[in-house]
Amino acid sequence: MPTIAYIGIGSNMGDREANCMKAIELLSEAGRVVSVSSLYCSEPVGYQEQEDFINAVVSLETDLSARGLLNACHAIEARLGRRRTVRWGPRTIDLDILLYGDLMINESDIVIPHPLMVARRFVLAPLAEIAPDVLHPVLCKTAAQLLRELKDAYSVMKYKPDHKSP
C-alpha cells in the first residue's frame, strides 16, 4: 500500500529554481507527486557565508520503503551535482524526508520525522501550505500549528524570480 511522504527541497547554487524543479521532476520516478508547494526564498541557517536558498516541499505517494526513498533522494542529489563538503554549506540540491506516513525511525543514517523540521520556517511554511493538517507523529501537532508556534527569526518569503534575497 502506498505511503504519503513529504520531501523538503532546497538549493542555493547555480540555477536554484531550475535545480528545485528538476528535483521535483526526478522525484516522480520514486512515486506520484501529489502536490508541490510554492517556492520560498530563505536566508541560510547554520553556515552563513553562502547564497540564499530556494525551498519547497513536495508530497509524494510512494511504494518505496523509507530507506528506499532515502536512497532515491540521494541518487537524485548525485544526479544534480550535489557534493557534501561543508555541513549546512552550499549545495545544488538538498532533499530531506520530512515525514513518511506516521512512521518514526531513529537510526544513525535515517531519522524520521526529520529532527530539525519543527525549528525551521523554510520547511514549515511550504509544508503548511500544501498539508496544513498533516500531523507530526511525535509531537501530535499539525504543520499549521507548528508554524504558528515557531519562534525562528530567519526570513522566509515566497520566491519571485526577479527577487534575489529575502
Instruction: Kindly report the average pLDDT of the chain as a whole number.
Output: 90
In a domain, 57, yes or no: yes
User: Contact at 8 Å (CB) between 58 and 35?
Assistant: yes
Of the residues 16, 52, 83, 94, only one is catalytic, namely 94
3-state secondary structure of 96: strand
In a domain, 163, yes or no: no
Reported as a single tens digit per residue, the pLDDT across 5-28 is: 999 999 999 999 999 999 999 999
Annotation says 82 is catalytic: yes
- Indicate whether 163 pLDDT > 80: no
Domain region containing 106: 3-158
Report DSSP state, residue 117: G
Residue 166 lies in a domain: no
Q: Which of 3-17, 45-59, 99-113, 131-145 has the lowest mean pLDDT?
A: 45-59
Q: What is the pLDDT of residues 134-149, one digit of tens each?
A: 999 999 999 999 999 9
Q: Which of 15, 16, 32, 82 is catalytic?
A: 82
pLDDT interval class at 166 (50, 70, 90): very low
pLDDT for position 165: 47
Whether residue 20 is contained in a domain is answered as yes
C-alpha dihedral (57, 59, 64, 67), degrees to nearest 10: 30
In a domain, 165, yes or no: no
CATH of the domain at 113: 3.30.70.560
Residue 102 lies in a domain: yes
- Cα 33 to Cα 44: distance, rounded to the nearest angstrom: 27
Catalytic (active site) residue 121: no
Residue 148 placed within a domain? yes
Provide φ and ψ at 74, rounded to 5°: -65, -40
State how many domains the chain has: 1
Q: At what angle do helices 16-27 and 66-79 cross, to 10 degrees?
A: 140
Q: Among the options 16, 91, 120, 121, which is catalytic?
A: 91
The answer to whether 138 and 104 have CB atoms below 8 angstroms apart is yes
Answer whether residue 111 is part of any domain.
yes
pLDDT tens for residues 84-95?
A: 665 656 788 999
Annotation says 94 is catalytic: yes
Catalytic residue check, 109: no
Catalytic member of 52, 96, 120, 121: 96
Quick one: pLDDT at residue 29?
A: 95
- Measured CA to CA in angstroms, residue 16 lies from 91, 115, 130 at distances of 9, 25, 21
Task: State the pTM of this model.
Answer: 0.91
Average pLDDT of the segment spanning 103-132? 96
